[in-house]
Amino acid sequence: MKFGRVVQIRKQFKFEAAHVLPYHQGKCSRLHGHSYRLDVTLEGPLAGDGPAAGMILDFEAVSRIVKNGVIGELDHRSLNEVVPNPTSENVVIWIWRRLAPEFPQLAELVLWETATACAILRRGDVLAQPLDPS
């Protein structure tokens, strides 16, 4: 096995949350909930030695960081308490901004609101850039 090659890993998480879309003209303007699925993709070289040899990052570390930083904040909560206009797009941006400082290898987030509808944010997308502190 050659080390230094770039590989992707992906871990999936689930959470339940409610929201109201305050600017929506249809039924989503009323309180409703979803069973969300979050796919977190990391990309980077494999570690050559140590306890993470052959890995980008241990899946257990990924789980701990995502559960503490995101799932614990959003699960069984009204998303309007966290994101003022909690569309899937705005929620995935919020999640990116929580996880990016913890995962320099963060490559992509996919937030599934339903089984057939998702929002995607990738490294390099304008909205995935750090906020301007000024």
Catalytic residues: 28, 76, 113
CA Rg, the chain, in Å? 16
Tokens of 57: 């990052």
- 22-38 exposure pattern, b = at least 16 Cβ within 10 A, e = fewer: eeeeeeeeeeeebebbb
Range list of β-strands (E), 3-105: 6-19, 32-45, 77-78
Tokens of 97: 């901004």
Starting at the edge strand found earlier in the chain, the sheet holding 118-122 runs 77-78, 6-19, 32-45, 106-112, 118-122
